[in-house]
Amino acid sequence: MTDTTQTTQQPDAADILLSVRGLSKQFSTGSGPVKAVEDISFDVRRGQIVGIVGESGSGKTTAGRCLLRLVEPSSGEAIFDGVDLFSLPEKALRAYRRRLQIIFQDPYSSLNPRMRVRDIIGEAIDTHGLAKGAARQARIEELLTRVGLSPEHARRYPNEFSGGQRQRVGIARALAVEPELIIADEPVSALDVSVQAQVLNLIQELQRELGLTMIFISHDLTVVEYLCDEIVVLYLGRIMEQGPARSVYANPRHPYTRALLATAPVPDPTVRRERVILQGDIPSPLNPPSGCVFRTRCPHAIAACAETVPTRETVGSGHSVACIRQAELVETYQD
Amino acid sequence: MAAASASSVDSPRISTLILQRKTLAIGLAIIVVITLLAVLAPLIAPYAPGKLSIVNRLKPPSATWFFGTDEFGRDIFSRTIYAGQLSLLVGAAATALAATVGITLGLVAGFFRKADGIVSRIIDAMMAFPDILLAIALVAALGPSLATVIVALGVVYAPRLARVVRASTLVIRELPYVEAARALGVPTWRIMTRHVLRNLVSPILVQATFIFAYAMLAEAGLSFLGVGVSPEIPTWGTMIAAGRQYVGQADWMTIFPGLAIILTVLSLQLVGDGLRDLLDPRLRKDL
């Protein structure tokens, strides 16, 4: 591994804002149960950004929704500041709602088309009784300015804005309650490429200035690399690989992570990357492959992959991989 | 009612907004004229609606009797505008009742899975009956009177609104802006009113104009069949029923109350269409 892992990074318990353990979510459908998320565990430290990466259908959005109890998780726990969010009754959860917020992927459907911007942001303020009258008005204007809009925008309806501006309104709404943790669910993937960078910069800026802790959900590894401290790679609801961003990027150990990285463009033309092109689509979660769920698309799959469900093996400080062949494959990975 | 409150939110010139929309303006104008004629009938009507004049029976329309006279020599014009009072009252009251019951049921069914099973079954069962049959049954069970007709029609048309509201609620409650509200901890009832109901104003209005029109037609049908209000009371339905026997010799007896129904129904549709456009901020570029 790289030399940076030499320094002992013993996770400091007080440092961890959210600790997710064994999060699973099953949906019952007409044709049987679907395991959208299966036994996910990870920690989010204060002030850090954890990236959850995966293709569509990997369960990353469901995992995020579960953490906010927008979708009820089937099992597991999420210890937020010492309290298990999953076992809180709805009433008690309400107090925690203020501390965890979400930024949505689609800037169009995430704003009520019949509410003016000031009412959208104001609703957040009112729900938790944070400000009234002139203070409320001032707070709305401050939030708008903070996300790069102007106070005059308060009286407008969402349809009068561009996608990037709408996303800024969504961010302002999330910030209105001064949350400690923000889950950003693909916040830029619905935006034009030219606007993506602006919104990403805004998110990063806000994160630094306000000391926010974030879970950043994305299918785009370049975006995650740019922002995140930790990375969790999901495939079909299972964790394939997780660890510090630097370590995962420098030494991707799971064939799936390698494939994802291979699809990401590299700004340096002299860098030669292995070409791994995944065949086919992500399998149906209704009928997941036996053993390792990735084996049907894995270029390195062998018979044993169908037999055993891979356990998490530690390959570096905080870096772990779920692949039975990771040790032998590592030699073939020399670029 | 919901329309007025939603559109008056600091829009300075509501009258200009309305006038810019021809269909809405025309529809509203017709409705206003019809309503005025009905309300001011005692002042406008040249004759009392029940005044008999056997010598003048079945006279065709003329300067004396704008719409002609019926088999008892009563003035059709006077009777038509008096009848408007009841027809409009029944339509409006039945629509209001249907809206109250239907919107409540639809929201509850759309929002709470457990209630949905029961409410939807009841809605389906009610909609399995033809409107007029169910109305007749209800009137028969409750005893014929003006109030029963209103209640019966309100009950008959409530499921239509409930269904529209339920279907849209099911869609809207999954939208990210509702999720955002839930993530903020906004209470359920407020999500239902502010986020769901407010986005349902257009479909509800459109449906309500239909129901207003249907209820008026149904009232006419009930009266025509003799199970509505008493035949002595002029409504457009009872007038058409009476004219039916003379349709060969005095078609004006049926034509004018019939036209009144058509005109009212048509203008209601125009108003519904126009309001839908007016209330949709996406179509409102002039603010």
Q: Do the chains contact at B185 and A98, CB–CB below 8 Å?
A: yes
Q: Do the chains contact at A113 and B182, CB–CB below 8 Å?
A: no
- The amino acid that residue A203 corresponds to is I
Work out the minimum CA distance from B101 to partner chain A, whole angstroms: 24
Helices (H) and strands (E) in chain B, counts: 13, 0
Tens digits of residue pLDDT in B218-257: 888 888 788 888 877 888 888 888 888 888 888 999 999 9
Q: Which of B155, B148, B156, B161 is nearest to B131 (CA)?
A: B156
Report yes or no: B118 at the A interface, CB cutoff 8 Å: no
Confidence band (pLDDT; 50, 70, 90) for B170?
Answer: very high
Q: Which of A13-22, A268-277, B269-278 has the highest mean pLDDT?
A: A13-22
Report yes or no: B54 at the A interface, CB cutoff 8 Å: no
B55 DSSP 8-state letter = G
Confidence band (pLDDT; 50, 70, 90) for B282?
Answer: low
pLDDT: which is higher, B4 or B281:
B281
Q: How many CA atoms lie within 13 A of B120 on its CB side?
A: 14
Query: Residue A8: its pLDDT value, please?
Result: 45
Longest dimension (CA), chain A: 68
Q: Which of A26-35, A50-59, A134-143, B271-280 has the lowest mean pLDDT?
A: B271-280
**Distance of alpha carbon B54 from alpha carbon B69, whole angstroms:** 10
Q: Do the chains contact at B184 and A123, CB–CB below 8 Å?
A: yes
- Region B82-93: what's the mean pLDDT? 92
- Give the three-state DSSP class for B75: strand
The answer on pLDDT for B88 being more than 60 is yes
What token pair was written down for A6? 């030499």
Tens digits of residue pLDDT in B96-135: 999 999 999 999 999 998 899 999 999 999 999 888 899 9
**Distance of alpha carbon A2 from alpha carbon B87, whole angstroms:** 85
Tens digits of residue pLDDT in B175-186: 999 999 999 999
How far is CA A8 from its chain centroid?
Answer: 26
Work out the minimum CA distance from A87 to partner chain B, whole angstroms: 16
Please, where in chain A does CATH 3.40.50.300 lie?
Answer: 16-99+179-333
Tens digits of residue pLDDT in A80-107: 999 999 999 988 999 899 999 999 999 9
Query: Residue B9: its pLDDT value, please?
Result: 46
- Region B41-56: what's the mean pLDDT? 85
The answer on pLDDT for B18 being more than 80 is no
Mean of all residue pLDDT scores within chain A = 88
Work out the minimum CA distance from A95 to partner chain B, whole angstroms: 8
Tokens 């930024």 — which residue? A103
Edge to edge, the sheet with strand A319-321 lists: A100-103, A181-185, A213-218, A49-53, A230-235, A238-244, A319-321, A313-316
User: Using alpha carbons only, what angle is made at residue A269 by residues A268 and A271, rounded to the nearest 5 degrees?
Assistant: 75
Q: Which residue of B has its CA nearest to A124?
A: B184
What token pair was written down for B263? 């005109």
Report yes or no: B183 at the A interface, CB cutoff 8 Å: yes
pLDDT: which is higher, B14 or B99:
B99
Contacts of A177 in chain B (CB under 8 A): 184
- Region B54-65: what's the mean pLDDT? 84
Query: Residue A21: its pLDDT value, please?
Result: 95
Confidence band (pLDDT; 50, 70, 90) for B284?
Answer: low
Q: Do the chains contact at B180 and A104, CB–CB below 8 Å?
A: yes
Which of B177, B181, B282 is nearest residue A109 as measured by Cβ atoms?
B177
Write down all domains in chain B, each with its CATH number in brackets: 2-283 (1.10.3720.10)
The answer on pLDDT for B37 being more than 50 is yes
The answer on pLDDT for B13 being more than 60 is yes
Query: Residue A2: its pLDDT value, please?
Result: 43
Query: Residue A110: its pLDDT value, please?
Result: 94
Work out the minimum CA distance from A181 to partner chain B, whole angstroms: 12
Tens digits of residue pLDDT in A120-156: 999 999 999 999 999 999 999 999 999 999 999 999 9
B199 DSSP 8-state letter = G
Beta-carbon contacts of residue B160 (< 8 Å; ≥ 6 apart)? B98, B102, B127, B207, B210, B211
What token pair was written down for A317? 């400080």
Edge to edge, the sheet with strand A75-80 lists: A32-45, A16-29, A75-80, A83-84
Report yes or no: B8 at the A interface, CB cutoff 8 Å: no
Q: Per residue, what are the HEC states of B138-178?
A: HHHHHCCCHHHHHHHHHHHHHHHHHHHHHHHHHHHCCCHHH
Phi, psi of B57 (to 5 degrees): -70, 145
Give the residue from A112, A117, A126, A157 with the most B CB atoms within 10 Å of its CB, the best one to mutate.
A112
Query: Residue B63: its pLDDT value, please?
Result: 84
Q: Do the chains contact at A127 and B176, CB–CB below 8 Å?
A: no
The answer on pLDDT for B11 being more than 70 is no
- Region A163-178: what's the mean pLDDT? 95
Residues in chain B: 287
Determine contact, residues B238/B223, Cβ cutoff 8 Å. yes
- Region B79-102: what's the mean pLDDT? 93
Q: Do the chains contact at A123 and B194, CB–CB below 8 Å?
A: yes
ipTM: 0.84
Q: Which of A321-335, B4-18, B173-187, B205-219 has the lowest mean pLDDT?
A: B4-18
Query: Residue A259: its pLDDT value, please?
Result: 87
Contacts of A123 in chain B (CB under 8 A): 181, 184, 186, 194
Q: Which residue of A has its CA nearest to B198?
A: A114
- Region A313-334: what's the mean pLDDT? 86
Q: Do the chains contact at A114 and B281, CB–CB below 8 Å?
A: yes
Contacts of B176 in chain A (CB under 8 A): 104-106, 109-110
Query: Residue B223: its pLDDT value, please?
Result: 84
Q: Which of A226, A196, A191, A229 is nearest to A212 (CA)?
A: A229
Contacts of B195 in chain A (CB under 8 A): 112
Work out the minimum CA distance from A176 to partner chain B, whole angstroms: 10
Angle between helix A117-127 and A133-146 (nearest 10): 120
**Distance of alpha carbon B174 from alpha carbon B167, whole angstroms:** 12
Query: Residue B148: its pLDDT value, please?
Result: 93
Query: Residue B283: its pLDDT value, please?
Result: 59
- Region A157-173: what's the mean pLDDT? 94
Torsion region of B215: left, alpha or beta (phi above 0 gives left; psi -120 to 50 gives alpha)? alpha
Domain A16-99+179-333: assigned CATH number: 3.40.50.300
**Distance of alpha carbon A116 from alpha carbon A100, whole angstroms:** 23
- Region A193-211: what's the mean pLDDT? 91
Contact residues, A window 68-127, toward B, CB-based 8 Å cutoff: 68, 70, 93-95, 97-98, 100-102, 104-106, 109-115, 123-124, 127
Tokens 């609801």 — which residue? A237
Q: Which of A163-172, A234-243, B79-88, B277-286 has the lowest mean pLDDT?
A: B277-286
Confidence band (pLDDT; 50, 70, 90) for B5?
Answer: very low
- Region B182-198: what's the mean pLDDT? 92
Q: Do the chains contact at A112 and B195, CB–CB below 8 Å?
A: yes
Query: Residue A226: its pLDDT value, please?
Result: 82
Q: Which of A170, A155, A188 is nearest to A51 (CA)?
A: A188
Which of A68, A93, A111 is nearest residue B177 as measured by Cβ atoms?
A111
Share of chain B above pLDDT 90, in %: 43
Determine contact, residues A111/A166, Cβ cutoff 8 Å. yes
Determine contact, residues B194/B201, Cβ cutoff 8 Å. no
Mean of all residue pLDDT scores within chain B = 86
**Distance of alpha carbon B244 from alpha carbon A42, whole angstroms:** 80
How many inter-chain contacts (A to B, CB under 8 Å) are there?
Answer: 66
Share of chain A above pLDDT 70, in %: 92
Confidence band (pLDDT; 50, 70, 90) for A47?
Answer: very high
Buried b (16+ CB within 10 A) or exposed e, A266-297: eeeeeeeeeebebeeebbebeebbebbbbbbb
Beta-carbon contacts of residue B131 (< 8 Å; ≥ 6 apart)? B156, B157, B214, B218
Query: Residue A14: its pLDDT value, please?
Result: 66
Tens digits of residue pLDDT in A231-255: 999 999 999 999 999 999 888 999 9
Contacts of B180 in chain A (CB under 8 A): 102, 104, 110, 170, 173
**Distance of alpha carbon A216 from alpha carbon B186, whole angstroms:** 24
The answer on pLDDT for A7 being more than 70 is no
pTM here is 0.80
Q: Per residue, what are the HEC states of chain A?
A: CCHHHHCCCCCCHHHEEEEEEEEEEEEEECCEEEEEEEEEEEEEECCCEEEEECCCCCCHHHHHHHHCCCCCCCEEEEEECCEEHHHCCHHHHHHHHCCEEEECCCCCCCCCCCCCHHHHHHHHHHHCCCCCHHHHHHHHHHHHHHCCCCHHHHHCCHHHCCHHHHHHHHHHHHHCCCCCEEEEECCCCCCCHHHHHHHHHHHHHHHHHHCCEEEEEECCHHHHHHHCCEEEEEECCEEEEEEEHHHHHHCCCCHHHHHHHHHCCCCCCCCCCCCCCCCCCCCCCCCCCCCCCCHHHCCCCCHHHHCCCCCCEEEECCEEECCCCHHHHHHHHCC
The answer on pLDDT for A199 being more than 80 is yes
**Distance of alpha carbon B19 from alpha carbon B268, whole angstroms:** 16
Which of B183, B199, B201 is nearest residue A68 as measured by Cβ atoms?
B183
Which of B176, B181, B198 is nearest residue A114 as measured by Cβ atoms?
B198
Q: Which of A112-126, B17-31, B187-201 has the lowest mean pLDDT?
A: B17-31
Report the sign of the C-alpha dihedral through residues A72, A76, A80, A85, in that order: positive
